[in-house]
């Protein structure tokens, strides 16, 4: 019995001895992710509120009066010049037929008078017709020519009105609101639908006037909302401050499909001149009671803790001042429980 107990103890010790290297490796070399300390052109920033808007956002109105026959549903996408609503055109089509007949009648009279004028001109050459008859015919022909111009002008106006019974999209976009419904009567200027272009977006932001000199067209500014950060390019800066709020306006181009129209976000507006700074990812900072530090991974994969002070920040990166050099590997994941001199396993390298 005692022999069997000794055998069990020997087997347990052998198992522990075999697992010891793996346990030592797991406990002694925790896995970490690293980033690289690098020099970047940075400037101090402050966050200001901004709103995503469409550069093409219009309420399309009726240009003729009548009863609405159809209006596209909300959510319908249309191309440029495609109809979004139709106004009844019965009276205009009847008027169109009437004016066509009027043009034909005046043309026929004009052609008759032109022939008469040529005939009287030949007779007058042979002294067989009075000159007054030829003058009268010529005057009637000129009046008929004027009547034809008036009739054709009225016809063109009517055709223009007919074309306007279809309310067309001035740009490609989506119907986001139906102001009036089919069956309702509209007059000239009545808003019918709201059309929004979702491909040409911009951000409108306002910042204090004291930062105006640091913002330039073409500058890339970070925009953030709902945990997502994207770059935006300053398209224009409105160099007129509001006398009540003492703010200026800036507009930034934004790639479509990231944020919807109306989204509120934050814009990191520069508040100082740009300078060269040594930066690390913000996740590299370790905040402990004794101060701020980063863990630098040396070539042998051992870590040393370096005390740093922070400077300007922009987005995910922040300036650090301390015993750290460009190109140093700094721990950005897994640095919470590291101790100086500890060996780590660098993920991916």
Q: What pLDDT does 12 receive?
A: 47
Least confident residue range of 28-32, 137-141, 280-284: 28-32
Q: pLDDT tens digits, residue range 35-53?
A: 999 999 888 888 999 999 9
User: Is 218 in contact with 88 (CB distance < 8 Å)?
Assistant: no
Per-residue confidence band for 125, with pLDDT thresholds at 50, 70 and 90 = low
Per-residue confidence band for 179, with pLDDT thresholds at 50, 70 and 90 = very high
Domains and CATH numbers, the chain: 30-43+276-346 (2.40.420.20), 45-55+199-271 (2.40.30.170), 57-88+165-196 (2.40.50.100), 90-163 (1.10.287)
Helix then strand then coil, in percent of the chain rounded to 5, is 30, 40, 30
User: Could you give the CA distance from residue 151 to residue 105 in angstroms, rounded to a whole number?
Assistant: 10
What distances in angstroms separate CA 7 from CA 2, 13, 14, 20, 101, one per listed residue?
9, 10, 11, 20, 120
Q: Would you list the DSSP string of 53-101?
A: EES-EEEEE-SS-EEEEEEPPTT-EE-TT-EEEEE--HHHHHHHHHHHH
Q: What pLDDT does 5 receive?
A: 56
Average pLDDT over residues 119-144: 77
User: Could you give the CA distance from residue 342 to residue 349 in angstroms, rounded to a whole number?
Assistant: 17
Average pLDDT over residues 179-193: 94
Radius of gyration of the chain (CA): 41
* The pair of three-digit structure tokens given for residue 234, joined into one six-digit string: 């300053």
* Residue written as token pair 């005939």: 119
Per-residue confidence band for 310, with pLDDT thresholds at 50, 70 and 90 = very high
Centre a 10 Å sphere on the Cβ of residue 340 and count the other Cβ atoms it contains. Answer: 11
pLDDT at 17 over 80: no
Per-residue confidence band for 134, with pLDDT thresholds at 50, 70 and 90 = confident
Mean pLDDT for the chain? 87
SS3 of residue 232 by DSSP: strand
Q: What pLDDT does 1 receive?
A: 47
Per-residue confidence band for 312, with pLDDT thresholds at 50, 70 and 90 = confident
Q: Give the residue, 126 or 195, on which the prediction is more confident.
A: 195
Q: pLDDT tens digits, residue range 277-299?
A: 999 999 999 998 889 999 999 99
Q: Provide the percentage of residues in the chain whose pLDDT is more than 70.
A: 89
Q: What pLDDT does 4 receive?
A: 52
Per-residue confidence band for 123, with pLDDT thresholds at 50, 70 and 90 = confident
Per-residue confidence band for 129, with pLDDT thresholds at 50, 70 and 90 = low
Q: Give the residue, 98 or 124, on which the prediction is more confident.
A: 98
Q: pLDDT tens digits, residue range 49-69?
A: 999 999 999 999 999 999 999
Q: Give me the phi and psi of 140, to 5 degrees please.
A: -65, -35
């Amino acid at each position: 019995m005692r022999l069997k107990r000794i055998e069990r103890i020997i087997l347990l010790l052998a198992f522990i001895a075999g697992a010891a290297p793996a346990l030592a490796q797991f406990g002694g070399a925790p896995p970490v992710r690293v980033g690289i300390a690098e020099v970047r052109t940075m400037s101090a920033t402050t966050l200001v509120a901004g709103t995503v808007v469409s550069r093409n956002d219009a309420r399309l109105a009726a240009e003729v009066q009548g009863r609405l026959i159809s209006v596209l549903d909300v959510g319908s996408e249309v191309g440029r010049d495609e109809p979004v609503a139709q106004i009844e055109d019965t009276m205009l089509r009847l008027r169109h037929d009437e004016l066509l007949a009027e043009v034909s009648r005046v043309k026929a009279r004009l052609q008759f008078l032109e022939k008469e004028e040529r005939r009287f001109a030949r007779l007058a050459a042979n002294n067989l017709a009075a000159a007054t008859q030829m003058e009268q015919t010529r005057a009637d022909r000129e009046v008929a020519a004027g009547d034809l111009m008036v009739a054709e002008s009225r016809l063109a106006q009517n055709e223009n009105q007919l074309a306007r019974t279809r309310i067309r999209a001035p740009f490609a976009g989506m119907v986001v609101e139906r102001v009036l419904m089919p069956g309702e009567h509209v007059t000239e200027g009545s808003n019918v639908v709201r059309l929004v272009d979702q491909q040409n977006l911009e951000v409108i932001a306002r910042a204090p006037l004291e930062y105006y000199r640091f913002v330039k067209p073409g500058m890339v500014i970070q925009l953030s909302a709902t945990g997502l950060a994207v770059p935006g390019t300053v398209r224009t800066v409105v160099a007129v401050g509001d006398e009540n709020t003492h703010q200026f306006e800036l507009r930034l181009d934004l790639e479509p499909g990231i944020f919807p129209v109306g989204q509120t976000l934050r814009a990191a507006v520069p508040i100082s001149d740009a300078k060269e700074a040594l930066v690390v990812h913000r996740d590299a900072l370790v905040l402990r009671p004794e101060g701020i530090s980063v863990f630098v991974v040396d070539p042998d994969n051992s870590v040393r803790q370096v005390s740093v002070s922070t400077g300007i920040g922009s987005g995910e990166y922040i300036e650090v001042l301390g015993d750290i050099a460009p190109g140093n590997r700094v721990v950005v994941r897994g640095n919470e429980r590291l101790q100086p001199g500890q060996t780590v396993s660098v993920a991916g390298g």
